Structure 1
């Protein structure tokens, strides 16, 4: 586990979600070795995108990730939405789909699997990199915000892409908040 993820409270939350995610993965033929989790209760300047190893019950890697601004110049705190055009992050489970090359370079389609994120594909919410997302933590400073996409640093997307591309089954992404 990386030093940035040594917080026992965070690991307890991740382990708690991992149990139900692994059951879901087994039942629905998703990757049962690894999943991705984003803990939105953490500040954007902290590593809050976690690569989770189901077998070891541990964090294999972590990085920064932007959240949606909900069509504001700057969103203080968090707000969630699922409506087309809302510009917000949507909580819930996602299937990470096929890669494509778009305006931000390589990106991965996301398919919402819950009522809270069912419009992800229609909203063009995708996993992609963005040059303004730093490689390392900048807390207490925040990082940039998105239009609802989980945006990461280019180097981190390359690591994630290797996992996604080499997986024989789709990888699950779970975006949650502490109280959700």
Structure 2
């Protein structure tokens, strides 16, 4: 199974090899695309023959809506053989405004939750209302996509420290080709809410505040699931 998964990843990356490292910028600042360069194979820990799922409460952790948590757990179970680490997951609640802390990092063993601000894509909110209007998996849509993602390797790109994501569902399986990643951005800092009542927008990436990125990377690491939805 691990050999087959690595072969699939390598095949996907051969297609995506010429893509820019990340396409996410704010709605007000455009960064010129970097010259195409070879993209290293994302490193994901090998999948064990039978992943051990951490014990979890039947009820949703505090601060996470029950129906959203239920769907995230179902996604983790559905993709259990493709997600090496089940001890923590991230849940992006895109039913909430960007002014709210809606990126939940959940410890599946004890139910503890850490929550962060996260931006959505320009194409998901063309009028910049602060609310995600739609998802899209289409290239050049500049939109956020929904579904389960697998966190992959870290790299340094035009947005600094970043982490690649692999889409596990038909609704987000273009994530690698679209360079949908986790990175930090000034427009995801809390002072944006004080000034504008909402965050800026990415081009589909999970852009978190500059002071939060290190903690998000530490909690997730490679080989864990992010679930993105609007329920």
* TM-score normalized with structure 1 length: 0.82
Question: 1:87 aligned to 2:133?
Answer: no
The separation in 2 between residues aligned to 1:24 and 1:135, in whole angstroms, is 35
Distance 1:20 1:63, change over 3 A: same
Q: Deviations over 1:146-176 (max 9, x none)?
A: 11111001221100111234x6xx0101100
5+ residue gaps, structure 2: 1-60
Matches within 5 A, 1:64-83: 64-70=117-123, 74-76=127-129, 77=131, 78-83=133-138
- Residues 112 and 29 from structure 1, CA distance in 2 versus in 1: closer, same or farther, beyond 3 angstroms? closer
Residue 19 of structure 1 and its aligned partner are, at CA, apart by 2.8
Q: Which moved more, 1:45-54 or 1:14-23?
A: 14-23
RMSD: 2.5
Task: Provide the rounded CA distance (Å) in 2 between the counterparts of 1:98 and 1:107.
Answer: 8
TM-score (norm 2): 0.65
Q: Distance in 1 between matches of 2:77 and 2:124?
A: 35
Q: 2:177 maps to what in 1?
A: 122
Match of 1:32 in 2: 86
CA distance in 2, matches of 1:91, 1:110: 12
CA contact (8 A) 1:30 1:172 kept: no
* More strand by percentage: 1
Q: CA deviation at 1:25?
A: 5.4
Runs in 1 of length 4+ with deviation above 6 angstroms? none
Matched, 1:12 2:77: no
- CA separation of 1:171/1:88 partners in 2, compared to 1, >3 Å: closer, same or farther? same
* Matching residue within 134, 145, 159 for 2:215: 159
Residue 23 of structure 1 and its aligned partner are, at CA, apart by 1.9
Q: What is the aligned length?
A: 168
Please say if residues 135 and 156 of structure 1, whose CA atoms lie closer than 8 Å, have aligned partners that are also in contact.
no
Deviation, structure 1 residue 121: 0.7
Q: Residue 83 of structure 2 contacts residue 150 of structure 2 at CA under 8 Å; is this kept in 1?
A: no
Report which stretch shifted further, 114-123 or 137-146: 137-146
